[in-house]
């Protein structure tokens, strides 16, 4: 089996979500470090424009967004299921909430001045400035909460998680749980863990977690999953892996469902609807109610298939160019 290649950087919370999934599934993987700010030429060679972190690659198939990456990993290694029967629906509902609301609360909370200094370590002021400028352009329309707003919201959310874990522990033995969505560990746990992992990177502000002992114990159990066995790879090598698979015509099977408003091989763009709106242009080769895939040809990576979840992405027909 081809090892999944994860394009990521160490301080990315969404990358931590996937690293913990890889740890839970004990899947060997290849690790490519990418820049935290633009430009990211080797990422864009694979994705065609998508610049968020992380991105997962299997040969010439490029998977964007952790909602899809986690689905693909669960198919690759069904052991330690992320969508256990019986709590799949509630697990997805909690995961969607955590990836949006909890993330956009925990991150601004942590990035207040005292936390920022610790997340960035000894980074020189120019690097901090470059980061601030990059993120301002990345999410221009976003109204960021003040530290006071973020702390109040985070405390409420931690309270909900504490009571959810308390409810579970009445029914479960300590060794099996409690878990966020019920009787088994699920995608909900990984989605709730990564924003709180980020808070813990900054001890100056991490005291907010202290009042929530069940959350603290659960987070410890989640983080002790680790990241599984990984081997470093250079980004140029990963592009070579894509080019080789593309030249052999090796892509995951996809199809365009006929009832979803688009024709196979239509020229389209796909772009996120929240932040990081860089569109990816290509020919539509896959469309279902939960995934969309475009094919594009890159001078270095070759004919790659770039896959996105359907939720949170907009597909647009490309305007035909006038002759
Ligand atoms: N919905 C996306 C969100 C990913 C995301 O927001 N990642 C952050 C880092 S944790 C990001 O891309 N920041 C800008 C960047 O890394 O360039 C997912 O689930 O993968």
Other C-beta atoms closer than 10 Å to the C-beta of 2 total: 13
Report the pLDDT value the prediction gives residue 170, as an integer from 0 to 100.
67
Report the pLDDT value the prediction gives residue 174, as an integer from 0 to 100.
46
Report the pLDDT value the prediction gives residue 277, as an integer from 0 to 100.
93
Please name the residue whose Cα sits nearest to atom 18 of ligand 1: 65
**Closest atom, ligand 1, to C-alpha of 275:** 6
* Sign of the torsion formed by the C-alpha atoms of 80, 82, 88 and 91: positive
- CA 250, CA 79: separation in Å to the nearest integer? 25
Cα(113) to ligand 1 centroid in Å equals 21
Q: Using one digit for the tens of pLDDT, what is the confidence trace for 84-93?
A: 999 999 999 9
Q: Which of 53, 105, 199, 309 to mutate to test the pocket of ligand 1 (most atoms within 8 A of CB)?
A: 53
**Closest atom, ligand 1, to C-alpha of 272:** 1
Cα(169) to ligand 1 centroid in Å equals 32
**Closest atom, ligand 1, to C-alpha of 194:** 10
Q: Low-confidence residues of the chain, pLDDT below 70?
A: 1, 169-175, 321-323
- CA 188, CA 170: separation in Å to the nearest integer? 19
Three-state DSSP string of the chain: CCCCEEEECCCCHHHHHHHHHHHHHCCCEEEEECCCCCCCHHHHHHHCCCCCCCEEEECCEEEECHHHHHHHHHHHCCCCCCCCCCCHHHHHHHHHHHHHHHHHHHHHHHCCHHHHHHHHCCCCHHHHHHHHHHHHHHCCCCCCCCHHHHHHHHHHHHHHHHHHHHHHHCCCCCCCCCECCECCCCHHHHHHHHHHHHHHCCCCCHHHHCCCHHHHHHHHHHHCCCCCCEEECCHHHHHHHHHHHHHCCCCCCCCECCCCCCCCCCEEEEEECCCCCCCEEEEEEEECCCEEEEEEEECCCEEEEEEEECCCEEEEECCCCCC
Residue 317: name the closest of 278, 273, 262, 264 by CA: 262
Rounded alpha-carbon distances, angstroms, from residue 237 to 5, 57, 69, 186, 212: 11, 12, 21, 33, 44
Per domain, the residue ranges of the chain are 5-79+230-317, 88-223
Enumerate residues lining ligand 1, CB below 6 A: 12-14, 36, 51-53, 65-67, 99, 138, 276
Q: Which residue has the tokens 């094919």?
A: 295
Please name the residue whose Cα sits nearest to atom 2 of ligand 1: 65
Cα(248) to ligand 1 centroid in Å equals 31
> What is the assigned CATH class of domain 88-223?
mainly alpha
Report the pLDDT value the prediction gives residue 84, as an integer from 0 to 100.
95
Q: Which of 14, 62, 69, 195 to mutate to test the pocket of ligand 1 (most atoms within 8 A of CB)?
A: 14
Q: Which residue has the tokens 């985070």?
A: 154
Residue 301: name the closest of 62, 45, 41 by CA: 45
| Tally of CA atoms within 13 A in the half-sphere of 133 that contains its CB | 8
Report the pLDDT value the prediction gives residue 182, as an integer from 0 to 100.
87
Give the CATH number of domain 5-79+230-317; options: 3.40.30.110, 1.10.10.10, 3.40.50.150, 3.90.380.10: 3.40.30.110
Please name the residue whose Cα sits nearest to atom 17 of ligand 1: 52
Q: Which residue has the tokens 């019986």?
A: 86
Tokens of 116: 């920022």
Please name the residue whose Cα sits nearest to atom 7 of ligand 1: 53
Q: Using one digit for the tens of pLDDT, what is the confidence trace for 97-120?
A: 999 999 999 999 999 999 998 998
Q: Using one digit for the tens of pLDDT, what is the confidence trace for 238-287?
A: 999 999 999 999 999 999 999 999 999 999 999 999 999 999 999 999 99
Report the pLDDT value the prediction gives residue 173, as an integer from 0 to 100.
55
Residue 21: name the closest of 78, 64, 61 by CA: 78
Find out whether 63 and 55 touch, Cβ atoms under 8 Å: yes
Provide the CA 10 distance to its chain's centre, in angstroms: 13
pTM, to two decimals = 0.96
- CA 120, CA 131: separation in Å to the nearest integer? 10
């Amino acid at each position: 089996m081809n090892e999944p290649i994860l394009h990521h950087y160490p301080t990315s919370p969404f990358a931590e979500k996937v690293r913990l999934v890889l740890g839970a599934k004990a899947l060997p993987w290849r690790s490519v470090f990418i820049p935290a700010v633009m430009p990211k030429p080797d990422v864009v060679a694979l994705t065609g424009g998508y610049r968020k972190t992380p991105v997962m690659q299997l040969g010439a198939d490029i998977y964007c967004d952790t909602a899809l990456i986690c689905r693909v990993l669960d198919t690759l290694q069904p052991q330690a299921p992320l969508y256990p029967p019986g709590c799949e629906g509630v697990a997805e509902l909690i995961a969607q909430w955590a990836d949006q609301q909890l993330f956009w609360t925990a991150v601004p909370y942590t990035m207040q001045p005292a936390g920022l200094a610790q997340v960035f370590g000894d980074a020189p002021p120019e690097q901090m400035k470059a980061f601030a400028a990059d993120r301002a352009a990345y999410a221009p329309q976003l109204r960021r909460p003040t530290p006071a707003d973020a702390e109040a919201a985070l405390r409420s959310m931690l309270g909900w998680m504490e009571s959810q874990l308390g409810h579970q522990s009445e029914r479960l033995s300590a060794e099996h749980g409690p878990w966020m969505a019920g009787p088994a560990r699920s995608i909900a746990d990984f989605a709730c863990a990564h924003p709180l992992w980020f808070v813990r990177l900054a001890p100056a502000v991490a005291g907010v977690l202290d009042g929530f002992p069940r959350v603290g114990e659960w987070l410890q159990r989640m983080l002790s999953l680790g990241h599984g066995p990984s081997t470093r790879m250079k980004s140029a090598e990963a592009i070579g892996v894509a080019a080789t698979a593309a030249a052999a015509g090796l892509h995951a099977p996809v199809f365009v469902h006929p009832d979803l408003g688009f024709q196979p091989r239509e020229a389209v763009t796909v772009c996120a609807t929240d932040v990081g709106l860089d569109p990816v242009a290509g020919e539509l080769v896959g469309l279902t109610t939960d995934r969309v895939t475009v094919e594009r040809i890159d001078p270095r990576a070759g004919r790659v298939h770039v896959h996105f979840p359907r939720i949170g992405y907009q597909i647009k027909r490309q305007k035909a160019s006038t002759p």
